[in-house]
Amino acid sequence: MPEFAEVEFFRKRWAQAAAGQRVKSVELHSAAKIFRGANPTAIRRALTGATYVSSEAQAKQMLFRFRRPSPGRKATACLGVHLGMSGELRVEPTGYVALRHDHLVLTTTKHRLVFSDPRMFGRVQFHVGDTAPTWWTKIAPPILSPEFTVEAVGAFLKRRARAPIKAVLLMQERFPGVGNWMADEILWRAAIHPRRLSGSLQPAEVKTLWRECGRVCRLALDTIAGRGSYLPPDLNAHIPKTWLFWHRWEAGGRDPRTGTPLARAETGGRTTCWSPARQKL
């Protein structure tokens, strides 16, 4: 499920519960796969007794920083979370007992912070040290940053000239955080058919695409993750019915702008939804 804005929603959910809290205990369940390179024992040892400091979301990843109690030279522990296809972060009461797909549980005085992921495409990464780890710093510059220029998008599309634009929008090295539904939303708003070859886009279309990348990210962030300290009750609580989002999976779904039928087919290896009336090949 989680793309750019959903990831920020989950980060905020944990961050609000963790604010000022100390980790009393750490549970790591099953699934060595989820923890890949990281050593579960090292994670448990480093986080137990540590205090939550801050967190960030970038693309589809999150970084949670903790300060360890006995400050040696390496006082900071960084916990990285990628939610994969089906991961989520939840905040449960202290009496909560971990279920089958809960892989990581951090217990504070007030809550249990749970990372669960049934399909196990997600991952947990870990790093001790005051400088951010490579797996964090190598993430491409955000779409909502000055570095995401129309020139950069144009150049990238040229390099991927023979791939359908839908597939290219899913490439994290240039469109960090964009996933299947956001890609469809962007193309629908930009009125570009998902099967158009990237190299065939005219300069004006590249500019529209670039602009809609920014708009969809901004709107998604505000509506899904909320502004300031506000956190919506659930992920979709405030997404307007005028977005493609609500209609792309509906049987007999219709374009919310034109009322015309939507089309669905696999493109770039993913199920893709578009509005034939507005998005032409």
Residues that bind DNA (CB under 7 A): 1-3, 6, 33, 59-60, 82, 84-85, 100-101, 118-121, 159-164, 167, 170, 172, 179-181, 198, 249, 268-271
Judged by CB, which is closer to DNA: 47, or 104?
104
Least Cβ distance, residue 108 to DNA (angstroms): 28
Least Cβ distance, residue 178 to DNA (angstroms): 7
* Calpha distance 146→165 (Å, rounded): 22
Judged by CB, which is closer to DNA: 66, or 188?
188
Least Cβ distance, residue 93 to DNA (angstroms): 22
Least Cβ distance, residue 278 to DNA (angstroms): 21
* Calpha distance 200→207 (Å, rounded): 13
* Residue written as token pair 């708003």: 189
Least Cβ distance, residue 138 to DNA (angstroms): 10
Judged by CB, which is closer to DNA: 180, or 275?
180
Least Cβ distance, residue 85 to DNA (angstroms): 4
Judged by CB, which is closer to DNA: 68, or 166?
166
Judged by CB, which is closer to DNA: 160, or 257?
160
Least Cβ distance, residue 94 to DNA (angstroms): 25
Q: How far is CA 92 from CA 18, 105, 113, 116, in A?
A: 12, 10, 6, 12
Judged by CB, which is closer to DNA: 131, or 271?
271
Judged by CB, which is closer to DNA: 23, or 183?
183
